[in-house]
Amino acid sequence: MKTVVFASALALGAIVLGVIALVIFAPRTITIVSISRVKAPQNLVRDNIRFLNRYATWSPFVETDPQQSTASKALMVKST
């Protein structure tokens, strides 16, 4: 019985130490980069992204999930 309790405590301690090590040594930020080429005029692409109320006209996800909400509080995103 004592052996089982000791083994369980040892396993739990190893898990706790593993989680602590993961927290300490894991990267603080994760960067995801995605590049896509769009064959369309630049001004058309920019306007479709800037005016979020046009999302439903160009998003492929609206077709796959028609129940989703496409409402937007922001009407325009400032371009830089």
Q: How much is the average pLDDT of 40-65?
A: 81
Domain count, the chain: 1
25 assigned to some structural domain:
yes
43 assigned to some structural domain:
yes
Cα distances from 44 to residues 27, 40, 48, 76, in angstroms, run 38, 7, 6, 14
Contact yes or no for 55/72 (Cβ under 8 A):
yes
pLDDT value of residue 63: 78
31 assigned to some structural domain:
yes
Structural domain for 14, as ranges: 2-64
pLDDT in tens, 7-49: 999 999 999 999 999 889 888 888 888 888 889 898 888 888 7
pLDDT value of residue 72: 60
CA-based torsion, 58, 60, 66, 69: positive or negative: negative
Write out the two tokens for 57.
């006209």
36 assigned to some structural domain:
yes
pLDDT value of residue 60: 79
Q: How much is the average pLDDT of 49-56?
A: 77
pLDDT value of residue 71: 66
